[in-house]
Structure 1
Amino acid sequence: MCFSATASFIVGGSLIAVGAVTLKLVKEKRELAFAMIPLLFGVQQLVEGVLWSSFHYNIPDLRTAMTYMFTMFSHVLWPIYVPFAVGLLETDPWRCRAMWVFRFIGVSVSVHLLLLIILMPLNAVADQHVIYISPRLYEWPMMFLYITATCLVSLFSSHRIIRFFGALAILMFIISYAFYTVAFFSVWCFFAAILSVIILIFFRGRRGMPVT
């Protein structure tokens, strides 16, 4: 979490446990990617916990490694991963076709942001929050496409609870940017990590057919 190492480790460990329970509820291979989301968010939160520790113990090399690792999760993995994970759950033909549009956007966003991470300086500083600093990494046109790939895609799901997840993720994105502008990616990833518990609820409440 963006507020302390302790919070990050607690949230990360909890989400890994949630992810393990969620994976046990998987019935088909196509559900596996979606079920992995809480576990992956848990790992991401642990990475930020280690990053916090690198500030506390003044370990520059560890700080650099964890900064890059976190941004690989936040800026590169999620725009690709979420559209594919959500799309694999779909059986409705028009929704399946729509998912390919989001997948294309997600891949484009991830490649663009990866190039920025590689080519531009990247640093992290900590005060009350962790702030990830890099030129052009947060430009609004790309952020709009980012939120399209990671959040808006869920609104096209045939499953009501996944649409609910997407709507809440968009709301948390807006709140994070409005109130934690300089640290909004760290804050929003924390909120999104907490929201991933909804995925456990989805698998537990599933009745075998999409809820529309």
Structure 2
Amino acid sequence: MCWSATADLVAGSGIAAIGVVCVARTRRSRDLPLAALPLLLGAHQIIESFIWRSDGGAGPATVAWAVIALPLLALWVPSAVLIAAPPPARRRLLLPVVTGAATAASLAYRLATRPVTAEIRGHTLGYVLDLPHPELLVAGYLVATVGSLLLAGDRLLRLLGFLVAVGAVICATLWRLEFISTWCAFAAVCSVVLLGWTHRRTVTVRTSMPH
């Protein structure tokens, strides 16, 4: 996520604050799960700051990090997009939702039956979990998260999907080189995009109300 405990804590707090604003300005209940996504991402990074300070390992913070990163986001993102989407877009979003549910179930099972550990590798944290068919799980994860955003039928959510896809490639490359973890920067950008999305949804609700 970030390159140090301090960076994770600062970035996580800032992203969570954006999430509070997103939730506070949301006027439609069906928009709340997606508006709350920055809150979840912020909490995720704050949790990782504790992992840094514990020098990795397999403690409760590591397990909580893995639960959010793996099964929860795989299910949360496509479900939130589906709930917020207009009726014409919902049929095409069923594939990411079903894929996300299957991927989340598999990941949750592995987390429940296998240990997950964190290792400090220079300016990155590596997470080790025994996963069967990791390529298939990664593909399912990307279909669920990036795919749902790209299929949402909303310009800002498509932009968000593009940013997540680009960020995943860049961050994965830098992580493999054990150079620096930069996902926190992309998470912050994505949270700002969601802030713009909630603002536009709020304006739409206000203009559609009878005067």
Shorter-chain TM band: 0.7 to 0.9
List per-residue Cα deviations over 1:54-76 (Å, max 9, x = no partner).
12xx8x6xx51111100000001
Aligned to 1:15: 15
Displacement of 1:38: 0.5
Give, as a single letter, the amino acid of the residue that structure 1 aligns with 2:45: Q
One of 172, 197, 200 as aligned partner of 2:192: 197
Q: Does 1:97 align with 2:73?
A: no
- Using the alignment, how far apart are the partners of 1:198 and 1:188 within structure 2? 18
Question: Relative to structure 1, is the Cα distance of residues 205 and 91 closer, same or farther in structure 2, using a 3 angstrom cutoff?
Answer: closer
Question: Relative to structure 1, is the Cα distance of residues 138 and 47 closer, same or farther in structure 2, using a 3 angstrom cutoff?
Answer: farther
Aligned to 1:46: 46
Displacement of 1:189: 4.9
| TM norm structure 2 | 0.87
Give, as a single letter, the amino acid of the residue that structure 2 aligns with 1:26: T
Query: What's the RMSD between the two structures over aligned residues?
Result: 2.3
Q: Any residues of structure 2 matched to 1:110-189 within 5 Å, and which? A: 110-127=104-121, 128-136=123-131, 139-181=134-176, 187=181, 189=183
Displacement of 1:8: 0.6
Give, as a single letter, the amino acid of the residue that structure 1 aligns with 2:124: H
Question: Relative to structure 1, is the Cα distance of residues 73 and 191 closer, same or farther in structure 2, using a 3 angstrom cutoff?
Answer: farther
Q: Does structure 2 conserve the Cα–Cα contact (< 8 Å) formed by 1:31 and 1:89?
A: yes
Question: Relative to structure 1, is the Cα distance of residues 183 and 29 closer, same or farther in structure 2, using a 3 angstrom cutoff?
Answer: farther
Q: Does structure 2 conserve the Cα–Cα contact (< 8 Å) formed by 1:12 and 1:46?
A: yes
Q: Does 1:70 align with 2:65?
A: yes
Displacement of 1:178: 2.3
Of all paired residues, the percent bearing the same amino acid is: 24
| TM norm structure 1 | 0.87
- Using the alignment, how far apart are the partners of 1:193 and 1:175 within structure 2? 13
Task: With a CA cutoff of 8 Å and minimum separation of 6, indicate the structure with the bigger relative contact order.
Answer: 2
- Using the alignment, how far apart are the partners of 1:112 and 1:183 within structure 2? 28
Displacement of 1:53: 1.1
Displacement of 1:119: 2.0
Give, as a single letter, the amino acid of the residue that structure 2 aligns with 1:208: T
Displacement of 1:181: 2.4
- Using the alignment, how far apart are the partners of 2:115 and 2:175 within structure 1? 22
Q: Does 1:208 align with 2:204?
A: yes
- Using the alignment, how far apart are the partners of 2:32 and 2:12 within structure 1? 20
- Using the alignment, how far apart are the partners of 1:183 and 1:81 within structure 2? 29
- Using the alignment, how far apart are the partners of 1:9 and 1:200 within structure 2? 20
Specify every segment of 5 or more residues in structure 1 that has no aligned partner in the other structure, as ranges.
none
Q: Does structure 1 conserve the Cα–Cα contact (< 8 Å) formed by 2:75 and 2:100?
A: yes
Specify every segment of 5 or more residues in structure 2 that has no aligned partner in the other structure, as ranges.
206-211
Question: Relative to structure 1, is the Cα distance of residues 20 and 44 closer, same or farther in structure 2, using a 3 angstrom cutoff?
Answer: same
Residue correspondences, number: 202
